[in-house]
Structure 1
Amino acid sequence: MQNLLRIACAACLVVATVATAQTPASQPPAGGTSDKMPFDIPYGTTIGLDTAKRLLALAEAEARKHDWKMNIAVVDTHGELLAFERMDGAQYASIEISQNKARTSARFRRETRVFYNQFETGHAYVNTLEAGLVASPGGFPLVEGGKLVGAIGCSGGTGEQDASVCKAAADAIK
């Protein structure tokens, strides 16, 4: 009976050790308290419709170079839609995704890849921030003269394809 008890205790110890080894010791650190507020881009005057249309054309040209079918959205500083384009053959599900990527980027003043990276490293709280938040590459803030003037979002391909197309347009703003 005593041997049976020892075997049972040893088995429990092995199971507990294996379970502990498979679970991370703790969540990744939050990074401490920084002296400067991150992503503190001041708001500027929203771009106009002509600029928004030019950005759509730049993004579309980049997508066509690779034969990627994209939905492309440009929003103002509040995240409200200024201009939108769905290329022929682009998937319908990506209409709303492209608009939400642009909205997320404008409202949070950062590239949507930041949320993707946080989610991928175990920070599931990202899901609780805003109902329409998209944690996927392909949303870029439009910054002119150091101020946020809008944002652009692309969807229809992989996250990297979406980001590549939108970055080509966002880089034209500087």
Structure 2
Amino acid sequence: MCGTAGGTPDKIPFDVPYGATISLDAAKRLLAIAEAEAKKHDWKMSIAGVDTHGELLAFERMDDVQYGSTTISQNKARTSARCRRETRVYYNQFETGHAYVSTLDAGLVASPGGFPLVEGGKLVGAIGCSGGTGDQDAAVCKAAADTIK
């Protein structure tokens, strides 16, 4: 429900509490799930798993993926963890004329392919994928993120 200030929400969006960071083993399992999804479509990806602070836990670069995807996947995961939302949210804002998004943080990524990992209603990390189109990146990461409950 919105308040009286022209559509101002009563609650903060994406207000997911922070939980304990996923383990390294859990992060590796998520990367394996994402890699399997990418291989199913013959998509080459860089895949990054980060903790609740957006710091790297696990990383994988598939053979022959473009080199730029190494940093992009990590930045997508970092953005998703630190901002507690899918990176597509920023992409959608930017695409609809909200250019201010590019001024929020120099490391913020406004591109699909970063997903928060929410377990038991708490943020436990994030995963980021890069190498294909934004929708391909998102599909690969979503396959892994959806396994967290």
TM-score of Structure 1 vs Structure 2, range by shorter chain = over 0.9
- In the superposition, the TM-score normalised over structure 1's length comes to 0.82
Determine the C-alpha separation between the residues in 2 that align with 1:138 and 1:94. 11
Determine the C-alpha separation between the residues in 2 that align with 1:162 and 1:56. 13
When you count helix as a share of all residues, which structure comes out higher? Answer: 1
Which residue matches 2:15? Answer: 40
Which residue matches 1:76? Answer: 51
Aligned length: 145
One-letter identity of the residue aligned with 1:51? A
Aligned-residue identity in percent? 85
Which residue matches 2:114? Answer: 139
Determine the C-alpha separation between the residues in 2 that align with 1:152 and 1:31. 35
Bigger radius of gyration:
1
Residue 31 of structure 1, CA deviation? 6.5
**Structure 1 portions without partners, runs of 5+:** 1-29
Residue 94 in structure 1 maps to residue 69 in structure 2 = yes
1:72 to 1:38, Cα distance in 2 relative to 1, 3 A: same
**Structure 2 portions without partners, runs of 5+:** none
- In the superposition, the TM-score normalised over structure 2's length comes to 0.96
Determine the C-alpha separation between the residues in 1 that align with 2:108 and 2:67. 18
Which residue matches 1:61? Answer: 36
Which residue matches 1:103? Answer: 78
Residue 33 of structure 1, CA deviation? 1.1
Determine the C-alpha separation between the residues in 2 that align with 1:37 and 1:132. 22
Equivalent position SS for 1:169: helix
1:68-113: CA deviation from partner (whole Å, max 9, x where unpaired)? 0000000000000000000001110010000000000000000000
Which residue matches 2:144? Answer: 169
Give the alignment's Cα RMSD to 1 decimal: 1.1
One-letter identity of the residue aligned with 1:140? F
Higher RCO structure (Cα 8 Å, ≥6 apart) = 2
Residue 153 in structure 1 maps to residue 128 in structure 2 = yes
Which of 52, 60, 83 is the matching residue for 2:27?
Answer: 52
- State the 4+ residue runs in structure 1 displaced beyond 4 angstroms: none
Determine the C-alpha separation between the residues in 2 that align with 1:58 and 1:31. 43
